[in-house]
Chains A and B, each alone.
Chain A
């Protein structure tokens, strides 16, 4: 058994892995853009771009069960060697790009909030090294660490939601159709890339106990992240409204900055930054691990550890390439759009091929 095929991870670890990867964007600018473009009905888009990947995950589980082996073996069996290389490299690239862009955004926001005088390269390197160390320690360490951190982080987030309640204006949630239902449906269908991390459960299936574990983890993680996102969106909209809500670079940070319970409980955003950085690290490490893992299985390497430092160096260097935060955010939105290929196209092809092969096999058996 390879070092990355631990086969011991359970539901909680799966939840923590996926949750960390897909919820990290809650702390970035996505919420502002979403509210700006969709208005008060953005929650419907969230439901759509959360449920679609869940359906896709179940399709991929079906595909995975129809052929025994890792993702490369499955793809080779269904779409041939060239197809397998294309699909796995594309997924690896998407996960890598995700870790690069999330790292850059977290580094930028760390500079804007906690360490304004720190050197840009130092912050990038710090995130990359930490993510590299987590990857080096392996999927089990990553998942179990996320699992330990998750409850504390969730409690922190819901405390902030509660402490900004004096600023709630419920009428900010109206007009209820926001910028129009069709706009929202379109955003929901195109926004599936936000949740591509859920497919990591299928790609890492050998690290989990069994298929049931993967399915349960996916359902809990994705529904939990949906609830968190919707609560965040509703609270954010009630507090800031659509107009001001669409202006903020860091929506969640702005919520934390508003906390003013009394003269003793205020200015708590410094505590929140710790939560935020931990989520970011888990997301960067998770995406980086997935990018590396897919290369490892594609090239049939015996272990992932030797290339973890290399991955961290590449990610750090790529993260420094965008000239400014505006370009980074635009690239991130582009990545979300491109990731639709990883949600609609590849799983669709694999699922159809799996069905076709199964029918052929059945008809051959009948003959």
Chain B
């Protein structure tokens, strides 16, 4: 009986002691950071760190999402010291485990971010699945002026906004893990999505001119010709050579990068109507299969061969020419699309070679040609990329016509 009672007491005591609630913190005791901004500070060797906090009580309010967030900025030598200072600036316990996105200011990105990234890879509250973006201007300015109008929570805004990259391929989802592994891989260079606050002047600035036969220009974030909507926009890609930003890709170039990475899932293109140049044809394109990329060494010079299959669905033919009927009409249209993308891919590779930034990761495809890691490291792929010969082959198959079988011309 005594033994039975003792066991019962031990079990009861354990059930109380092992609840794990001793160190628990209620939601209203924590200040959850949803975004962090990193900029160079005016003082040498210092970093300006902006924290965007979620305010839970606002989550259910009907006011705009920007009121869901509070921004605190401090200047510190390191992120750890920034966190120390933050604790003195905020009444609740700052928690970084829910950071959705790290926004890096362009100036800091151009100076190099390897040193800043150290704590992100080591400290347990950060994780590789956090998104990283580079903003034109300062991160502080981006966080302060980013006032979403469609969602009621900043956390949701970042999730939804970055998650929408698959719709067009005009920007890419980039995570801390992807950035860091690329940085250390010797097989390609890192890239990060480009963001900015748009001045909403309705006057855009074209970054990449359309190629012959195409009707779409390329823009970078902050330059889209628009007014209204969310102040911030995600468009284009920041290119890195090592840890330093060396340039950027426009929306159309980013789509090429997306194709080469094999993750281009959807996006409209507008081309000149081959039989009526004053008119256009809209096609919704996606990759028909993963790109076939072959990288070989010919007399120590890398030769890259890219073969891409695109599949599409016609979404508009204002000219009423019946491409839907197939035959030579459709073949001409398919050929036009192939030529446009072939040209764009060549322009993309030329641009990235000039910047010595193999963001498409062609180096990965060369790895099997080497026997050991040392041989591959000694080859120094990232220095050889600019000398590579690039051949591109694009094949387009328009599989569907949308919801119309044919277009009857208007009288």
Report which A residues bind B (CB closer than 8 A): 39-40, 112-113, 115-118, 167, 169, 171-172, 174-180, 239-244, 247, 254, 257-260, 263, 266-267
Contact = CB atoms under 8 A, between A and B. Distances in A.
6 contacts: A39-B373, A113-B124, A175-B375, A177-B371, A258-B177, A266-B129
Interface stretch (B202-210, B241-249, B362-370): B362-370
Contacts of A241: 181, 184-185
A264 to B, nearest CB: 10
A179 B374 contact: yes
A281 B128 CA distance: 28
B250 interface: no
Contacts of A179: 372-374
A286 to B, nearest CB: 22
A187 to B, nearest CB: 15
Interface in B358-398: 364-365, 367-368, 370-376
B372 A175 contact: yes
Contacts of B175: 260
Closest 3 CB pairs of A and B: A171-B364, A260-B129, A243-B184
A175 B376 contact: yes
Contacts of A263: 156, 159, 163
Interface string B97-128: 10000000000000000000000010010011
B372 A178 contact: yes
Nearest to A245: B181
Contacts of B368: 171, 174-176
Contact of B184 (A115, A244, A259): A244
Given A171-B364, A171-B365, A174-B367, A257 B127 contact: yes
Contact of B23 (A117, A239, A240): A117
Contacts of B185: 172, 241, 243-244
A258 B129 CA distance: 5
A254 B370 contact: no
Contacts of B376: 175
Interface in B163-220: 163, 175, 177-178, 180-181, 184-187
Given A171-B367, A174-B370, A244-B185, 6 more contacts: A40-B373, A112-B124, A175-B371, A177-B372, A179-B374, A258-B129
Given A113-B124, A241-B181, A243-B186, A39 B23 contact: no
B222 to A, nearest CB: 27
Interface string B130-162: 000000000000000000000000001001000
A240 B129 CA distance: 13
| Interface residue SS majority, chain B | helix
Interface residues of B, number: 30
Contact of A175 (B127, B177, B184, B370): B370
B129 A257 contact: yes
Nearest to A253: B124
A244 B129 contact: no
Nearest to B186: A243
Nearest to B175: A260
B180 A180 contact: no
A40 B159 CA distance: 35
B297 to A, nearest CB: 13
Nearest to B374: A179
Contacts of A176: 368, 371
A189 to B, nearest CB: 20
Contacts of A112: 124
Most chain B Cβ neighbours within 10 Å, of A116, A117, A240: A240
A175 B367 contact: yes
Contacts of B180: 244
A211 B112 CA distance: 63
Instruction: Kindly name the residue among A169, A240, A259 whose own CB sees the greatest number of chain B CB atoms within 10 A.
Output: A169
Interface string B66-79: 00000000000000
Nearest to B131: A260
A312 to B, nearest CB: 16
Contacts of B23: 115, 117-118
Given A171-B367, A244-B181, A258 B373 contact: no
B372 A180 contact: yes
B368 to A, nearest CB: 4
A180 B374 CA distance: 9
Nearest to A166: B263
Contacts of B367: 171, 174-175
A178 B373 contact: yes
A243 B182 CA distance: 10
A175 B129 contact: no
A263 B376 CA distance: 38
A179 B376 CA distance: 11
Contacts of B127: 257-258, 267
Interface string B334-377: 00000000000000000000000000000011011011111110
Nearest to A266: B129
Contacts of A174: 367-368, 370
Contacts of B184: 241, 243-244
B372 A39 contact: yes
Contacts of A171: 187, 364-365, 367-368
Contacts of B187: 171
Nearest to A40: B373
Given A118-B23, A175-B368, A240-B181, A259 B375 contact: no
A37 to B, nearest CB: 11
Contacts of A258: 127-129, 177
Contacts of A118: 23
